Amino acid sequence: MTDESGADGGTEVVAVSGDGREGYRVGWPAARALRLSVTGHDADGFFAGIDLFPWRVDVPHEEVNFRSGLADVDAGEVPKLEATYALLAETVRRFGHLAPIRLFVAGHTDTVGEGAANRALSEARARALGRWFRKRGLRIPVLFAGFGEDTPLVATPDETDEPRNRRAEYIVAVEAPPVRGGLAFRPLD
């Protein structure tokens, strides 16, 4: 296990449970693991290994306000993005040498408007934010996805103007965060 400090925790597995037919559960020390290197050996000496990256950083930030129906970043919103960029740059500085980290930008909307239009709008906004960070100088891969009104922060009925649901998430991770509904993060062009 490699932890967030870059220290290699060695090969000791803290806990393994399960019968092998349905899998095993593996535990490790309380430190946040950046990388788990797992190697399995059979009775004949054959082995295989895989690296797992159960680590991510959700970057705190102030939400960028977009004009209704648009995905352009207004000049008045740039100070918010500058503050977020500083946090992203620090995260890259601290962890970028330990693993191939990437930025995942997830866009969301409120429930005003049609679902398909909201998904397209949230995707366009996530792409615009990712492009802003890239243009500003972020040098790690950026991926984006638009979730529209499907994952609200605050549950509301349809056609409810709820500013807290019009948001973006910035996640720094090695592997893509899990998503449901067939959506996937796409690389920024």
Segments making up each domain of the chain, as ranges:
2-52, 56-187
Q: How confident is the model at residue 22 (pLDDT cuts 50, 70, 90)?
A: low
- 3-state SS, the chain, equals CEECCCCECCCCCCEEECCCCCCCEEECCCCCEEEEEEEEECCCCCEEEEEECCCEEECCCCCCCCCCCCCCCCHHHHHHHHHHHHHHHHHHHHHCCCCCCEEEEEECCCCCCCHHHHHHHHHHHHHHHHHHHHHHCCCCCEEEEECCCCCCCCCCCCCCCCHHHCCEEEEEECCCCCCCCCCCCEECC
The predicted model gives 50-76 an average pLDDT of 91
This prediction has a pTM of: 0.82
User: For 82-141, how does the pLDDT look when each residue is reduced to its tens digit (9 = 90+)?
Assistant: 999 999 999 999 999 988 999 999 999 999 999 999 999 999 999 999 999 999 999 999
According to CATH, the topology of domain 56-187 is: 60s Ribosomal Protein L30; Chain: A; (3.30.1330)
